Amino acid sequence: MIAEIITIGDELLRGEIIDSNKARIAERLLLLDLDCRYQVSVLDDPADMQDAFRRAAGRSDFVLISGGLGPTRDDMTTEVVAQTFGREMKLHEESLVVIEAFFRSVGRDMSDVNRKQAYFPVDADVLKNSIGTAPGFSIREGRAVFFAMPGVPRELDLMMDDEVLPRITSALFPEEGQQALSEGRSERRVVRAVMLRTFGMGESTLETELLDLAREGEVDLGYRTSFPDNLLRPVARAKTVEEADARIARVSAAIRDRLGAIVYGEGDDTMEIVVGRLLTEKRLSIATAESCTGGLIAERLTDVPGSSAYFLGGVVAYSNAVKASMLGVSEAVLEEHGAVSEPVVRAMAEGVRKRFGSDFGIATSGISGPSGGTEDKPVGLVWLALAMPASEGADGQTSTHAESFVFKVSRSGHRSLTSQVALDWIRRSLLGIELVGPSLMRRAGGGSNPSGSLA
């Protein structure tokens, strides 16, 4: 059985937005062990769209279309699908009622152009959109079943999960459906996959470390870089759900044992989510003092729902004057060592911890570039410091870990990578393990050893 994905929109081919919908759809198809052979993007052009639809109908069993279901002039997927396969368009009264109710619920009058979203090809199966105004639809044309869905990622995800995948499952297993799949009574293989998030080790090093696991035979291991992380994706196929789950669990445990703290999360767990969970569990707090990262660490921490339980506040101390007045950094230290230095970043971390009364204080100061470097302090240099409670038996004392790195990446990459190291230090300290930086980018020498961590 062959699946094909078609995404529609001028903005995709102009590079204005990243086409993440292909990945969202393909990831879900993988769980049904569907072979996604083709992925196509086309302009909002009827001729190009018709060509793509005809090709898909001749070579694929399931065709999943994303985009072009909106109310504007360039949203023409429904009409072009109907034209391509010689079908009339017909008003779906139930969809029109739902769309009208949506506008009433948000206190807006529905424009006449929105009525087009309630028209579908004759004999189409309408797919409900529970959070938007664009219903989807499904039609069969020859061997192929077409599913047309919105391009808005959140709407697409819900429609895939609630409307499309159940229909595909029923088509794959017409007699016994999903129950046969879950109980292992189908001839078709069950597929299970998990995403493991790692930080601090390069992709080639990861492959070397996990080479024997990747060749186990029962599980395929894929790698993907999503800067600054590297993602590992074990995929297991088996005759039953239990067997596939057991294989995934066994390989995932082996990967964690092999890599240790480099594996920091699973699935959608970003570094800030993991850090927030640990801070919440331990009832500890954090404050930030940022120079080169410009508030990015604070932004990432507060992007997590419930972060008010552990994030107390932050200072973006870009100028030396602010470092001195807001964080208590000595002007003499600034003059002698410069803003990008160990004494200054230590003082920043300790100063923000004291000012906000937090358990942790994290600080950054660096040269993100592309200019501003010197021979002694090159572009890419960054100093980080984490101030935390000292080890047991030292009430009221602060333990501060500081270290420098040179990250030879773009300005935005420098800020992103620095913020990731900072968050990883907080995570490692909460877990009571060594504070380190990315192994491939670590600066030789410099820095200080941690004088304590919080288990």
pLDDT tens-digit profile of 265-288? 998 899 999 999 999 999 999 999
Cβ atoms of residues 89 and 95 within 8 Å: no
Residue 123 reports pLDDT greater than 90: yes
pLDDT of residue 109: 86
Residue 299 reports pLDDT greater than 60: yes
The whole-angstrom separation of Cα 194 and Cα 232 is 8
2-183 has which CATH code?
3.40.980.10
CA distances from 28 to 33, 281, 294 (A): 9, 32, 37
Lowest mean pLDDT among 16-30, 129-143, 186-200, 387-401: 387-401
b/e per residue 1-26 (b: at least 16 CB within 10 A): ebbbbbbbbeebeeeeeebebbeebe
Measured CA angle at 3 (ends 2, 7), to 5 deg: 150
Domain made up of 271-431: CATH architecture:
Alpha-Beta Complex (3.90)
**Helix axis angle, 46-59 to 77-84, nearest 10°:** 60
pLDDT tens-digit profile of 413-448? 999 999 999 999 999 999 999 888 775 433 333 333
User: Which residues pair with residue 234 across a beta bridge?
Assistant: 221
190-266: CATH topology? Alpha-Beta Plaits (3.30.70)
Highest mean pLDDT among 12-21, 204-213, 328-337: 328-337
Both tokens of residue 27? 């990831």
Phi-psi region of 212 (alpha: psi -120 to 50; beta: other; left: phi over 0): alpha
The whole-angstrom separation of Cα 93 and Cα 84 is 24
Measured CA angle at 133 (ends 131, 138), to 5 deg: 95
- Residue-range domain boundaries for the chain: 2-183, 190-266, 271-431
pLDDT of residue 452: 34
Query: Looking at per-residue confidence, does 453 or 377 come out higher?
Result: 377
The whole-angstrom separation of Cα 167 and Cα 121 is 18
The whole-angstrom separation of Cα 166 and Cα 170 is 6
Mean pLDDT of the chain: 89
**Main-chain phi, psi angles of 216, to 5 degrees:** -65, -30
Cβ atoms of residues 418 and 381 within 8 Å: no
Length of the chain: 455
pLDDT of residue 398: 79
Residue 75 reports pLDDT greater than 80: yes
Cβ atoms of residues 202 and 219 within 8 Å: no
Per the listing, tokens 């196929």 go with 237
pLDDT tens-digit profile of 391-420? 654 556 779 999 999 999 999 999 999 999
DSSP 114-133: GGGGGEEETT-EEE--SSSS
**Helix axis angle, 342-356 to 320-327, nearest 10°:** 40
Average pLDDT over residues 148-175: 90
